[in-house]
Structure 1
Amino acid sequence: MKQRPKTLGCGLILMTAFLVLQGCSSLSYYSQSIGGHLQLMGQRRPIVAVLQDPETPDSLKQQLAAIKQIRDFASDSLALPDNDSYRSYADLERDAVVWSVVAAPQFSMQPKQWCYLVIGCASYRGYFSRQSADLYADELRAQGLDVAVEPVPAYSTLGWFDDPLPSTIVGWSSPRIAGLIFHELAHQQLYVKDDSAFNEAFAGFVEEVGVVKWLEDQDAQRLEQWQRSQQREQQFIGLLLETRKQLQVLFDQAWTPDQMQQRKATLYQSLRERYESLKKTWEGYSGFDGWFDRDLNNAHLVSIATYEQWKPALKQLLIEADGQLPAFYQACRSLGLLSEEERRKRLIVLMAL
């Protein structure tokens, strides 16, 4: 793992480190990124200190004590980086740490890319202010793009800083918190420049495997509940991926823009209707209703594909590693050393096994 800076005192290190997180294409963007990150880092306190503070509410102490155990499990049992990331707590007064802007053409399922130093290109741009994210989103809409602004509850600086655990997630269920910690530490374990699809699939897969292992150490009932929730989530994602495929077929046709827009709207309406039908099989569960509580567009679907595309291939890679995570990580690192074309070919082969 690369050497991490120990303090925030060096401007050059700070500049480089934050470019790992978001990158910049303008002075104003760079300024808000640095300012937001510094503010977050300045608000962190070691979880141990928060637990010892008599003014800390008992409910928060209980949650942070459980999170401390989850963080230890990540390194001890999942072979994820053993550092100070997510061993501190930052009490924020907002609903998200950053807001991610995603965009795609009106008649394409290929996301817009932003290219940054160090991490290469990615299909998102992040802002610490919701207002700034919305203003940039308006600029992109004026260019004729479909745009989504999504709240991001936590992020990883890929090991350059000791990332804190933000207050935005402490109200979550323990399995969901565990998944987030495992996901963000997986980004520190492996990050391949210019390949968002591989990076997110890797982190998402480690998250899923890690939560199962963690719950196996807890109790069977909680594991069963989580597996049911995962089954619903996979059914929901399946709907989105199916619609994405249908849209791509549509966009490959030679329709006029008006015809294309009409057929596009029909597919999104069909998605809503199929979701309502699927939800009837979930015994009253309605946890994905909020996802539909907005005007849907291509930008909402391109992100889903980024997270899901290569998970079946990674599952096969874990099987070939006999379920041993260190060997699996090494196999993934070997994939990361390939060219993007060769890596894609190898992943396709793995998916066919």
Structure 2
Amino acid sequence: MFGFIFWRSRHGPLDRLSRLLVPMAGCFLLGGCSTLDYYQQLARGQFALLRAREPVAQTIADPRTAPTLRARLVDAQQARTFASEQLGLPDNRSYRLYADIHRPYVVWNLFATPEFSLEPVQHCFPIAGCVAYRGYYQQGRARGAAALMRLQGLDVYLGGVEAYSTLGWFDDPILSSMVGWDSERLASLIFHELAHQLIYAPGDTAFNESYATFVEQEGTRQWRRARSLPPLEQAPEAKQAAFVQLVLGLRDHLGALYAQPMAPMVMRARKAALIEQFRRDYRQLRDSIWQGKGPYDSWVQGPINNAKLLPFGLYDQYVPAFARLYERAGQNWRAFHEAVRSLAGQSAEARQRALQALLAEGSV
């Protein structure tokens, strides 16, 4: 992620939410942040991360390394080699390094919207373009910034991020916040993040995340075949998609509500009613798909506002279009990446038209 960065046994919508792109290195290198204090915390946080890195081989060889960590890192290095040799992804030191950060999240992402709008408060950076959040290396700072935004009447959501990419500005390490995942989930994240390093269109989150998600999903399928593992009986994405569609439905209903002229108190009440209806709909979905406790229960039962809905749809919107492009490229990764790079070089309008055409072609 450069990724919500939210989820999965592989990744779910909540894993990806938590991984949402945090390319902060370019920001402090080029001086694009809005306040000196924010600029300084980015620099301190990134450089602390750089200092904590060491070669994965060194961690594996260290007799003090826990056996479970050693096994996870060995598997990750096999996936890392596969990424470059078989998927056409960058061959560099990223994810060949390890960093123990001594905390559960590397950064905390802060999202905000007006109370009656689904448009995010945007933050613009020289390399990454404009994104719908700010990242903080210290949870206390993130909470303080969130409190100030709430005082301004904004809807706010704060989510922890276990991993992020610097788009190749630095050699990104495997973080201690990632090694509690199973080996396949860690491999999938490596494929996703290396795709961001290879191709990135500034300011176009849907394009970037859909491309990286396709590489992640198809790369993971091929990684399973390479290890003689059977295909998953039911792709986790199918169940995740049902939940995402439910969330997108709520977002559509809220958007229609906000377009109506009405007093704030009335709109606030109707907003709360739509959210409660969404919770009822989720319980029905959960009972039909998961037959009881579902993977999104805690997310749904917690406070819901506009800001919490922002990341949904960013990862999957154009995945079928990239699948079609991969087929056009003869399932050749090099040719596929070149076609994607060509799209990234077009204007945002031309790029969207091309992706929509691919979506339409794939649905025929």
Distance 1:310 1:172 in 2: 26
Give the secondary-structure state (helix, strand or coil) at the position aligned to 1:305.
Answer: coil
Q: How far off its partner does 1:123 sit?
A: 1.3
Q: Within the alignment, does 1:246 sit opposite 2:253 as a pair?
A: yes
- Counterpart of 1:275 in structure 2 is 282
Q: How far off its partner does 1:22 sit?
A: 10
- Counterpart of 1:322 in structure 2 is 330
- Structure 1 runs (4+) deviating above 4 angstroms are 20-23
Q: How far off its partner does 1:81 sit?
A: 0.5
Asked if 2 retains the 8 angstrom alpha-carbon contact of 1:19 and 1:118, the reply is: no
Distance 1:324 1:344 in 2: 23
TM-score of the superposition, structure 1-length normalised? Answer: 0.90
Asked if 2 retains the 8 angstrom alpha-carbon contact of 1:104 and 1:112, the reply is: yes
**1:24-83 residue CA offsets vs partner (Å, 9 max, x unmatched):** 211100110010111111111111001111111111111111111111111111111110
Residue of 353, 356, 359 corresponding to 1:351 = 359
Q: How far off its partner does 1:198 sit?
A: 1.4
Letter in structure 1 aligned against 2:335: A
Letter in structure 2 aligned against 1:306: L
- Counterpart of 1:4 in structure 2 is none
Alignment of 1:110-189 (within 5 A): 110-189=119-198
Distance 1:335 1:125 in 2: 27
Q: Within the alignment, does 1:287 sit opposite 2:315 as a pair?
A: no
Give the secondary-structure state (helix, strand or coil) at the position aligned to 1:261.
Answer: helix
Asked if 1 retains the 8 angstrom alpha-carbon contact of 2:25 and 2:43, the reply is: no
1 or 2, which has the higher helix percentage? Answer: 1
Indicate how the Cα distance of structure 1 residues 107 and 315 shifts in structure 2: closer, same or farther if over 3 A, else same: farther
Structure 2's unaligned 5+ residue stretches are: 1-23
| Bigger shift: residues 208-217 or 184-193 | 208-217
Distance 1:27 1:76 in 2: 42
Q: How far off its partner does 1:237 sit?
A: 1.2
Distance 2:66 2:125 in 1: 41
- Counterpart of 2:214 in structure 1 is 205
- Counterpart of 2:244 in structure 1 is 237
Letter in structure 2 aligned against 1:129: Q
Letter in structure 2 aligned against 1:315: A
Indicate how the Cα distance of structure 1 residues 264 and 202 shifts in structure 2: closer, same or farther if over 3 A, else same: same
Alignment of 1:101-112 (within 5 A): 101-112=110-121
Letter in structure 2 aligned against 1:180: L
Distance 2:227 2:282 in 1: 33
Q: How far off its partner does 1:285 sit?
A: 5.3
**1:238-293 residue CA offsets vs partner (Å, 9 max, x unmatched):** 21112112222222222322222222111211221111111112244522223224
| Bigger shift: residues 116-125 or 153-162 | 116-125
Distance 1:154 1:171 in 2: 12
| Bigger shift: residues 17-26 or 50-59 | 17-26
Q: How far off its partner does 1:178 sit?
A: 1.4
- Counterpart of 1:46 in structure 2 is 55
Asked if 2 retains the 8 angstrom alpha-carbon contact of 1:20 and 1:158, the reply is: no
Distance 1:16 1:205 in 2: 25
Q: Within the alignment, does 1:303 sit opposite 2:304 as a pair?
A: no
Q: Within the alignment, does 1:191 sit opposite 2:200 as a pair?
A: yes
**1:325-346 residue CA offsets vs partner (Å, 9 max, x unmatched):** 2222111111111111221222
- Counterpart of 1:37 in structure 2 is 46
TM-score of the superposition, structure 2-length normalised? Answer: 0.87
